[in-house]
Amino acid sequence: MSKQPCARVLLRALRRLCCYADEVTLFSRRLPHVLTRSDLVLLLAPTYAKARLVDDDEASERLARALAVPAALDELYAGVSAALGDTKGPRTSDDALVDRVSAGVVARRARARPAEATPAISAALIRLDLEIGMAPESMRATLATPRGRALLDEGLRALGAHVVKELLRG
């Protein structure tokens, strides 16, 4: 057995272990290690709490359960990756931008402000609510329609942009 197929098998196993599917395209392979699931929970809790009119502890608990589902986490990472791609300038390297995100996580992850409520962000929050049983199951079919999927994708990109903006501000 050559080294190359062995490396591919190891990479696939690592992705499965880390709950990231092969088809998810990340801005950087470092992203899930720099911006962990618990960091995403802290960054999105104010938005979820404001939108759902719950306290921060309840919002954090719900988000932690929702982001424990690999598909939901992957979709959120895809939104963050798209936002990082939009933020990257012509002279900024991927590693430099991820380093800035890493510094922002250390400095500001617990001081995030809520995102502005829009229909797209509401669709993304409904997607997370579906994973924990807080939204009616009929909403899954609504989000699966072409119009619903487009709104959901826009909302995931908007949440990703909000996360990136919060981490890079200052």
pLDDT digit string (tens) for 60-104?
Answer: 999 999 999 999 999 999 999 999 988 888 888 888 888 899 999
- Cα 20 from Cα 77, distance rounded (Å): 9
Neighbours of 80 (CB within 10 A): 26
What integer pLDDT is reported at residue 10 of this predicted model? 47
Who has greater pLDDT, 18 or 157?
A: 157
Q: How confident is the model at residue 6 (pLDDT cuts 50, 70, 90)?
A: low
- Which pair of structure tokens corresponds to residue 39? 């960091």
Helix, strand or coil, per DSSP, at residue 74: helix
Q: How confident is the model at residue 25 (pLDDT cuts 50, 70, 90)?
A: low
What integer pLDDT is reported at residue 95 of this predicted model? 84
Who has greater pLDDT, 19 or 121?
A: 121
Q: Which of 17-21, 107-111, 119-123 has the lowest mean pLDDT?
A: 17-21
Q: Which residues contact 40 (CB under 8 A, 6 or more apart)?
A: 63, 67, 73, 76, 163
What integer pLDDT is reported at residue 24 of this predicted model? 54
Q: Between 146-168 and 119-132, two packed helices, what is the crossing angle to 10 degrees?
A: 100
Domain boundaries, the chain: 25-168
What integer pLDDT is reported at residue 29 of this predicted model? 77
pLDDT digit string (tens) for 103-116?
Answer: 999 988 888 899 99
